[in-house]
Structure 1
Amino acid sequence: MKRLRVHAGWAVVLTIFVALAGCLSRPAQEPPAPVPSPAPKAPQPVPEYAPLTGREIGKPIPRRPLAVVIENAPDARPQSGLFAADFVYEMLAEGGIPRFLAVFHSGMPDEIGPVRSARPYFIEVARAFGAVLVHAGGSDEANAILAGGDPPHLDGLAAEGTYFWRSSDRKPPHNLYTSAEKLEAYMAARGIPQTGQPPRFSFAPGGPASLSSDVRPAGRVHITYWGSSPVTYTYAEDRGTYVRATAGKPDVDRKTQAPIQLSNLVIVRVPHAVVDDAGHLKIDLADVREAWWVAKGEAVPVEARWEGNGPYRLFLGSQEVPLVPGTTWVAVLPLRGCDVNFAP
């Protein structure tokens, strides 16, 4: 009987212990609250850069470039619209007087001129930029090329009084002008597509010294033409651009008085030949014998290649030279004459 009581007592103690253990055990933990995922970030806009200048722009420019032949005789100065061109090719015409082929894409001025006649090498450059050529007549050879329709062209002599006008303060042939708005209307009237992209160039801010040790100071560049006034490009370090002057007088826009400035100057020497009694020239753009790239107060010899349909691309060895962002002028010179001098 006593043993039964002991067993019963232990049973009671064990029951109480189990009960107390259950009371003292920790409650089950609740699952952790979920950590909220961060809200997805809105995609950052990808910067868009103008294909011919490397400058940042708000959105792509769908319009086709315009390449305008602009006179550079003394009676044509100052010109209109050159300050807004992305690229300018300066090439000789008869008598050793150069003319400009101004390529407009990212900027379209409201006065352009004086517009003058085309030559085959102007046509070649316009085609290289995928541009519509704007001119006022042309040599017989140029007119024969344009009759084939490549590149499309707008002739000011055929649209005088509608899409082109004569300025009363100058005498013909130095007074034919147009505007971007009128040229776009002229293209629409002729059914010429207004959309298209020029070739895209590479750009970097470094300049010649960042790519080569074979540089020379070029704070001033002086070019003497056969039958025209000497031209000087002076580097303005505070602006990072060259300012152009003709015969010692700063070149400015006729309408806005904006100075003619450029970030890159390319100088090429190619064969020139007189082909008739009128003094018309044949210029072999692809046969480059010497080339210089000038930017940021420095000049460096480069290889200029006119590959396929062009336009010129610059190389140091196998590496293509990235231009400094901004406008580019190309001086196309003969093998002899038209002296070039670099100065600090």
Structure 2
Amino acid sequence: MRALAGRAPHRRGARIGALLAASLLLAGCQSAAEPDAAPTEAAARPSADAAASAVSFAPLRGTPAEAAALAHPSLAVKIDNHEEARPQIALNRTDIVFEELVEGGLTRYVAVWHSDVPDEVGPVRSIRPMDPDIASPFGGIIAYSGGQDQFVAMMMATPLVNIVFDFDETGLFTRADERPGPHDVILDSAEAVARNAALAPPPGQFSYGTADPLAAPALAAAPTSRIDLVFSEDRFPAWEWDGGTSAWLRSQEGEPDLEASGERVRAVNVVTLRVGIDWSYGEVPKTVMIGSGEAWVSAGGRTAHGTWAKDAAGSPIVLTADDGSPLRLAPGNTWVELVPNEGSATFTP
């Protein structure tokens, strides 16, 4: 365990800088096909010219980038999604975001930044029991505001550097005067990464293809204009395909979802996983991340069906198409929607 701890944070104002012929609904459980191999790491794409070795591929986006600019750890942060926490800061600069069910039927995010680390992110909230299984494959840093002692202990037991609001004595966290508490905790994300720059960059998590990675007929991907997801009665996000920007645009509870910059929250890829919920912790649901289940990958205005599998806390999620081939993503940012078995997902042509 590595942790950063100490004095109470100070307060200041923060800078607030985005079915196919019939609907496909999540129904019964489907067991995952055994994956043939580990995910392809985008950063491992070779270059024919040794002189071009300074150009690499972002491991969490699959996009070209200067190798030197990637030589730092990723930063995972627990981000609030209460109505009073919106708009969140810099979601469109993330590499990967996981949306998870929490108590009261609400959702929160585990947002991961690596290829584009902003100055500030937030609002930051507390840890939940599934977060160690979500964040561990990335290595690097995890930041959160606190949580039940048992959940904090679970996260502290991972190899990640823990940066915790409750223990911070170095000013990495502040409170935004213009936001209501407790939805006001902001992290100096750039400084958090700079202080831990010697940590290794994250390994690749998903396999990447072309901008239209689901075009192969064997994948049987269906044109998709809209994705409707139901986590609970209170949380039902949606994504609409925008061909003009080649991105999915997000809504929450029927309203456009905007980040603090004023931009609509967007994603190049939307990965929808059907997951079980463990209620061992009372009113706090734990998304079951170790195992397998049904999956959909939506990219390039199409959706392909398959399975997901994850065999250990520190292992990445492996996505496999129904034909047994890897389900590849388009280069760019990704949202992973961890939809409970009791919820639903509808993909509209």
Q: What range is the shorter-chain TM-score in?
A: 0.7 to 0.9
1:216 maps to what in 2?
222
1:56 positional shift = 0.9
Structure-to-structure mapping, 1:53-132, within 5 angstroms: 53-60=61-68, 61-132=70-141
SS of 2:152's equivalent in the other structure is helix
1:248 positional shift = 2.7
State which of 258, 269, 278 in structure 1 corresponds to 2:274.
269
1:295, 1:324 within 8 Å by CA — same for their partners in 2? yes
State which of 35, 41, 48 in structure 1 corresponds to 2:56.
48
2:213 maps to what in 1?
207
Larger helix proportion, structure 1 or 2? 1
CA distance in 2, matches of 1:287, 1:93: 20
CA distance in 2, matches of 1:224, 1:176: 28
CA distance in 1, matches of 2:50, 2:287: 50
Q: How many residues align?
A: 295
TM-score with structure 1 length normalisation?
0.80
Q: Is 1:333 matched up with 2:339?
A: yes
Structure 1 residues 174 and 276: alpha-carbon distance in aligned structure 2, compared to 1, 3 A threshold: same
1:252 positional shift = 2.2
1:9 maps to what in 2?
none
Amino acid at match of 1:117: S
CA distance in 1, matches of 2:97, 2:89: 13
CA distance in 2, matches of 1:126, 1:318: 27
Q: Where does structure 2 lack aligned partners over 5 or more consecutive residues?
A: 1-48
Q: Is 1:306 matched up with 2:310?
A: yes
1:268, 1:288 within 8 Å by CA — same for their partners in 2? no
1:123, 1:133 within 8 Å by CA — same for their partners in 2? no
2:264 maps to what in 1?
259
2:88, 2:122 within 8 Å by CA — same for their partners in 1? yes
2:230, 2:339 within 8 Å by CA — same for their partners in 1? no
Could you say which structure has the greater relative contact order, defined with CA pairs below 8 angstroms and 6 or more residues apart? 2
Structure 1 residues 228 and 109: alpha-carbon distance in aligned structure 2, compared to 1, 3 A threshold: farther
1:211 positional shift = 5.5
- Cα RMSD of the aligned pairs, angstroms, is 2.0
1:181 maps to what in 2?
190
CA distance in 1, matches of 2:308, 2:302: 17
Moved over 4 A (4+): none
TM-score with structure 2 length normalisation?
0.79
Identity %: 28
Larger strand proportion, structure 1 or 2? 2
1:139 positional shift = 2.4
2:296 maps to what in 1?
292
Query: Per-residue CA shift, 1:181-227, capped at 9, x if unaligned?
Result: 33236xx3xxx564312122432113223263522232100112215
1:123, 1:151 within 8 Å by CA — same for their partners in 2? no
CA distance in 2, matches of 1:146, 1:253: 28
CA distance in 2, matches of 1:43, 1:95: 54
CA distance in 2, matches of 1:140, 1:211: 50
